[in-house]
Amino acid sequence: KAGVTQTPRYLIKTRGQQVTLSCSPISGHRSVSWYQQTPGQGLQFLFEYFSETQRNKGNFPGRFSGRQFSNSRSEMNVSTLELGDSALYLCASSLGNGQPQHFGDGTRLSIL
């Protein structure tokens, strides 16, 4: 069974731009969660989608948004990029609450 796939692996943007990251979950997994990982703040929960609905949201500004499609693939969008948005963005899929989350390799976003 294929794992969680995130694209692209690397992305370089400038301040003020916007970016869209993509995540394809493991087949059969309906829950997709997004995390931001930085050296200073560690791993922080962004949001979770289940069956195309956002179920939970972390403490991030409205510039961070996401969506999930009927095939469970998910996208995350960040608008008006700031230098502090430079991070590794991880996507994880699972069967549901309490089940192990399986992570992708992440997208390394660098803001210049």
Partner 1 sequence: AQTVTQSQPEMSVQEAETVTLSCTYDTSENNYYLFWYKQPPSRQMILVIRQEAYKQQNATENRFSVNFQKAAKSFSLKISDSQLGDTAMYFCAFTSYNNNDMRFGAGTRLTVKP
Contacts with partner 1, residue ranges (CB under 8 A)? 31, 33, 35, 42-43, 45, 48, 50, 55-56, 58, 88, 90, 92, 94, 96-98, 100-106
Minimum distance, C-beta of residue 108 to partner 1, in the bound complex (Å): 8
Minimum distance, C-beta of residue 21 to partner 1, in the bound complex (Å): 15
Count other C-beta atoms under 10 Å from residue 106's C-beta: 19
Is there a contact between 110 and 50 (Cβ–Cβ < 8 Å)? no
Q: 15 or 43: whose CB is closer to partner 1?
A: 43
Residue type, 108: R
Is there a contact between 45 and 32 (Cβ–Cβ < 8 Å)? no
